Amino acid sequence: MNEFTPFDVSRDGVVLHGRIGGRGPALLLLHGHPQTHVIWHRVAPLLAQRFTVVLMDLRGYGDSGRPTPDTEHRVYSKREMAADAMAVMQHHGFDRFQVLAHDRGARVAHRLAADHPQAVERMLLLDIAPTLAMYENTSEAFARAYWHWFFLIQPPPLPEALLASDPSRYVRSVMGGRHAGLAPFALEALAEYERCAALPGTAEAVCEDYRASAGIDLVHDREDIAAGHRLTQPLRVLWGAHGVVGKCFDVLALWRERADDVSGGTVPCGHYIPEEAPDDVVREALSFFRS
């Protein structure tokens, strides 16, 4: 990804790291857990031929900052992460843009579109249903497959201690325990995920991200529903045919409860769509986003 220029943007004392490159309309790319913006290494160079691509590390991940947690986990709420994304895009001169996001990043994108509807033009989300719906419809099969959702939200210090004791083992266990094992991941990308997982404060930040999702983020989602707020942007959702989300949830139906214009379907892979099926992601992106 040498063709992309690194940047660091500071918001409220939190450094937000990323890369920017390409030409054309602005397209923000957000990664998932336990990864970094590097997940897009097979996708971003192709999209940069049509878009100005902005990739960023979420707070708590990659080379972005790891702020000190608070008791209500607001510091790692998706509302704060969405505000980070707005700060990054405005720093680069973009007040309106499109979003491609995976996993945790897609949850940030959901909040970004809800809180800043004037900024988000279109969204393509990968392998998620709405967070609140997933918690409310959790089955035994989902709990077994997404065990980390329920492990990471346990009170400190046990989850942090176990992650910090062997970060590489955690990364390889979580990513390698899915449909295709570790085969889809480039060695250089895997090494980068392991490097960042071992940075000081990462274990605490990751746990806080998930604690926020099981707490304050659900409060914000319920407030949206109570107020009748819906996503008005065109939304496309893709999920892995061999993954857990599509097997445990009616993805399109759940998104249609929260958004007005929803399309999507399966991709022939597992959870890590940008690395398992990059050609499908690029094809869907080019057909969906306005360039």
Cis peptide before 200 (omega within 30 of 0): no
Q: In angstroms, rounded to a whole number, what is the distance separating the alpha carbons of residues 48 and 220?
A: 34
Which residue type, as a one-letter code, is found at position 80? E
Catalytic hit among 57, 84, 103, 224:
103
| CB-side neighbour CA atoms (13 Å) of 18 | 26
Q: In angstroms, rounded to a whole number, what is the distance separating the alpha carbons of residues 174 and 157?
A: 20
**Contact (CB, 8 A) for 159 and 151:** yes
Compute CA 72 distance to the chain's CA centroid, rounded to the nearest angstrom. Answer: 21
* The token pair that represents 290 in the structure block: 């306005």
Catalytic hit among 37, 102, 110, 271:
271
CA angle at 178 for the pair 177 and 183, rounded to the nearest 5°: 90
Terminal Cα-to-Cα distance of the chain (whole angstroms): 22
Unique residue bearing structure tokens 């099926």: 277
Establish whether 209 is a catalytic residue: no
**pLDDT tens across 37-84, in order?**
999 999 999 999 999 999 999 999 999 999 999 999 999 999 999 999
Unique residue bearing structure tokens 């065990």: 147
Of 12, 22, 9, nearest to 56 (Cα)? 9
**pLDDT tens across 271-285, in order?**
999 999 999 999 999
Establish whether 250 is a catalytic residue: no
**Contact (CB, 8 A) for 73 and 212:** yes
Quick count: other Cβ atoms within 10 Å of Cβ 179? Answer: 16
Q: Does domain 5-288 have CATH number 3.30.56.10?
A: no
Q: In angstroms, rounded to a whole number, what is the distance separating the alpha carbons of residues 248 and 31?
A: 22
In this prediction the pTM is 0.98
**pLDDT tens across 200-210, in order?**
999 999 999 99
pLDDT < 50 positions in the chain: none
Q: What is the pLDDT of residue 61?
A: 98
